[in-house]
Structure formats: structure tokens, C-alpha cells
Amino acid sequence: MELSNSEEQLMQILWKKEKAYMKDLVEEYPEPKPALTTVATLLKRMQDKNFVGYTKQGRSREYFPKVKKKDYFSKQMSGMIKNFFNDSASQFASFFTSETDLSEEELKEIRKLIDERIKNK
């Protein structure tokens, strides 16, 4: 299941904070800040999708992510590679290295990471 752009923006805040009350989440938004009702609606949708949980603290709810950022990002990347690059990681790597403005140093660092990964397989 995927998040909408608005849900993903809120999820980024929640991943950063790890646990937060609604007012704390709203405070993290840039101006103009969304209404509390908007954030409440997003949180409810995200609970329905099983991305967010909460614990009751008196009359308030403390929200927390139920999905790790790394797991969500990994699934998104896998979907992008499948949908845009014919399920080919090498096509993705070719596009990424040729279409982004990477410095020689950054390309060497990527090569080093790949070489280490190959060595450990």
C-alpha cells in the first residue's frame, strides 16, 4: 500500500520525531501550517493503511510509525525500478549515473559501495 504525497510528508515528520502528539506534528510543518482537522484526517487514513499507530495518554494520542522508513523506501524503490526500468536494476543504475549530476568523487564512492557488496556476496 502506498501513501499519498500529503501522507508521505506527514510520515517523514513522524519518522523524524519517532513519537509525537498531533500538535507537535503540526508544529513541524513549514508555513502555511495545515489545520488540525487536516492532520487528523491524514493520521486516520494512515492508521487505516497500518502505517501509524498510537497510544492513549489521558485524553491525547501519541502517534508513532508502524512502518520503518527504510522498509517503505526500499519498497518504493523496488516499485520504481519495476515500473520505470523494466525490473532492471542495471537500467536504473545506468539512468541514475548518467542523468544525475554526480561528481567524480560521488561516482567513486558508489563504485566502492558496489565493490564491497560484491565482495561480501
46 lies in the same domain as 80: no
Phi, psi of 62 (to 5 degrees): -105, 115
82: DSSP letter: H
56 with 9, same domain?
yes
Determine the structural domain holding residue 26 and report its residue range: 5-65
| Tens digits of residue pLDDT in 72-90 | 998 888 888 888 888 888 8
Helix (H, G, I), strand (E, B) or coil at 21: strand
Tell me, what CATH number does 45's domain have?
Answer: 1.10.10.10
Please tell me whether residues 9 and 61 are part of one structural domain.
Answer: yes
The pTM of the whole model exceeds 0.85: no
d(CA 21, CA 62): 5
Q: What is the dihedral of CA 7, 70, 93, 106, to 10 degrees?
A: 110
Does residue 1 have a pLDDT over 80?
no
